[in-house]
């Protein structure tokens, strides 16, 4: 039973990542009607925002020591990060918390990338068939990942967890179980809370702001809203930017869990498309629900007890669930009827 809980928890943080990517995909699909295969690449670029940020703040000044010698008899190199020199202690905090601080870099970068992507390429594809949208965004995804590869190489770039958040929390104790029954890495807990709060903010934004209300109305009936003289396209462009930001933030915070390399986007893309379809094309709550559900299901399937009965099930469970959902309930968990049937 404890192992079960632990697996559920393990699934939730992955589910959080799925949900965030799927949320963005659904926003783009719901507002612009575009099937964006480059969305996984946005997640990957977000992750590399964290890598870049860390590279920048850990740039070091190298001074040759006049007194001390290294074991080889050469003058000792004293390396001090510029951040430390300039900001003192805050610089050290900055380096320690580089991943969370990268969020500040990721927001403007992702917004810019998202909006220029939409204005530069995607907008020409609103009225083209879905197959062409898939193809052009797939091509774009390849381009983006190859660009990242030229700058950062093919190897994974591990990112550290801030010291205070390393280690594991003993959740079992909190609910009155014996010690060490359910321990859970703190950072994963942070990720889970982070994804929940991003999801909550996106929903709150759509629900309580005028901007969000117009967008929701536009998702429901674009033509009527346009007829009211509201420039819906501009808002949709911004929504694309927001979707990119959401994917990017998800990527930033995921870096300590999975060291990013340039293929990260493609790996997550296929999965998050499955998530979107399972949740129901165009349904935001569906995307979130399916994201967490599939994360947990995948995690449960990799329990040894399950794998003993069904070998290999952990490898394919998500696809299997997708196939079953599509056959039994083609509109997904919470989707509306008839969306994208053709």
Partner 1 sequence: MFNIPKKDAITFVLFAIVVLTMPIWLAPLGASYPGLLQKFAIYALLAVGYNILFGLTGYLSFGHAAFLGVGSYAAVWSFKLLSMNPVLALVFAIFFSGLFALAIGFISLRRSGIYFSILTLAFAQMSYKLAYSVLSPITHGENGLQLTLQDPRAIDMMFIERGSSLPTSSLFGIPMNGYAGFYFCAVILLIGFFIAQKITSSPFGMMLKGIKSNEDRMNYTGFNTKPYMLTAFVISGIYAGVAGGLLSITDPLAGAERMQWTASGELVLMTILGGVGTLVGPVIGAWIIKYFENIFSAFNESVLHNFFAFLPDNFESIVVLISSKFVGEGWHLTLGLMFVLVVVFLPGGIMEGVRRISARFSNRKDPSKGEEVIDPENLPKPDLKKGE
Residue ranges in contact with partner 1 by CB under 8 A: 33, 35, 121, 124, 126-132, 134-136, 138-143, 145-147, 149-150, 222-223, 266, 270, 273-274, 277, 281, 311-312, 315-316, 319-320, 322-323, 326-327, 330, 336-342
Instruction: Give 130 or 235: the residue with its C-beta nearer to partner 1.
Output: 130
**Are the CB atoms for 46 and 102 separated by under 8 Å?**
no
What residues have CB less than 8 Å from 114, skipping those under 6 apart? 42, 240, 241, 242, 243, 244, 245
- Radius of gyration over every alpha carbon of the chain, rounded to an integer in angstroms: 22
Closest separation between CB of residue 317 and partner 1, Å?
Answer: 10
Q: How far is the CB of 200 from partner 1 (least distance, A)?
A: 27
Closest contact distance (angstroms) between CB of 7 and partner 1 is 19
Question: Residue 89 or 341: which CB sits closer to partner 1?
Answer: 341
> Rounded to the nearest whole angstrom, what is the least distance from the CB of residue 285 to partner 1 in the complex?
18
Picking from 219, 241, 207, the residue whose alpha carbon sits closest to that of residue 109 is 241
Cα–Cα distance, 61 to 234 (Å, whole number)? 45
Task: Compare residues 68 and 146 and give the one whose CB is closer to partner 1.
Answer: 146
Contact yes or no for 57/104 (Cβ under 8 A) = no
304 or 342: CB nearest partner 1: 342
Smallest gap from Cβ 105 to partner 1, in A, equals: 24
Nearer to partner 1 (CB atom), residue 168 or residue 306: 306
Cα–Cα nearest to 254, from 167, 118, 156:
156
Q: How does DSSP classify residue 69?
A: E
Q: Which is nearer to partner 1, 125 or 187 (CB)?
A: 125
Query: C-beta of 53: minimal distance to partner 1 in Å?
Result: 24
Nearer to partner 1, 182 or 284 (CB): 284
∠ at Cα 35 (31, 37), nearest 5°? 130
Q: What secondary structure does DSSP assign to 179-212, as a single string?
A: TTSSEEEHHHHHHHHHHHHHHHHHHHHHHHSHHH
CB of 59 to partner 1, least distance (A): 23
Distance CA 203, CA 307 (A): 37
Which of 93/135 has CB closer to partner 1?
135
CA distance 238 to 27: 11
For 323-327, the CB contacts below 8 A with 24+ separation are 325/277, 325/278, 326/277
- Least distance (Å) between residue 35 CB and partner 1: 6
């Amino acid at each position: 039973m404890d192992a079960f809980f632990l697996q559920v928890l393990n699934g939730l943080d992955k589910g959080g990542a799925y949900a965030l990517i799927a949320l963005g995909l659904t926003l783009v699909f719901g507002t612009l009607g575009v099937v964006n295969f480059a969305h996984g690449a946005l997640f990957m670029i977000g992750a590399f925002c964290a890598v870049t940020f860390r590279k920048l703040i850990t740039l070091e000044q190298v001074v040759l020591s006049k007194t001390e010698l290294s074991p080889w008899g050469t003058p000792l190199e004293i390396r001090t990060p510029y951040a430390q020199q300039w900001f003192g202690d805050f610089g050290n905090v900055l380096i320690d918390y580089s991943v969370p601080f990268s969020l500040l870099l990721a927001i403007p970068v992702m917004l810019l990338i998202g909006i220029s992507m939409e204005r530069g390429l995607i907008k020409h594809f609103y009225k083209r068939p879905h197959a062409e949208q898939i193809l052009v965004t797939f091509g774009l995804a390849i381009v983006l990942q190859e660009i990242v590869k030229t700058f950062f190489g093919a190897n994974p770039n591990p990112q550290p967890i801030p010291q205070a958040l390393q280690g594991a929390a003993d959740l079992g104790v909190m609910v009155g179980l014996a010690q060490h029954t359910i321990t859970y890495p703190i950072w994963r807990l942070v990720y889970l809370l982070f994804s929940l709060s991003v999801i909550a903010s996106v929903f709150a934004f759509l629900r309580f702001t005028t901007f969000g209300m117009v967008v929701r109305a536009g998702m429901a009936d674009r033509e009527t809203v346009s007829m009211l003289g509201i420039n819906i396209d501009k808002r949709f462009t911004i929504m694309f930017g927001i979707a990119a930001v959401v994917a990017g933030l998800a990527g930033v915070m995921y870096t300590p869990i999975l060291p990013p390399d340039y293929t990260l986007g493609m790996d997550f893309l296929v999965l998050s498309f499955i998530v979107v379809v399972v949740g129901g094309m165009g349904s935001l709550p569906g995307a979130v629900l399916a994201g967490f559900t599939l994360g947990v299901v995948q995690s449960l399937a990799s329990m040894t007890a399950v794998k003993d009965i069904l070998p290999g099930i952990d490898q394919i469970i998500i696809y299997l669930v997708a196939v079953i959902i599509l056959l039994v309930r083609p509109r997904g968990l919470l989707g509306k009827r008839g969306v994208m049937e053709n």
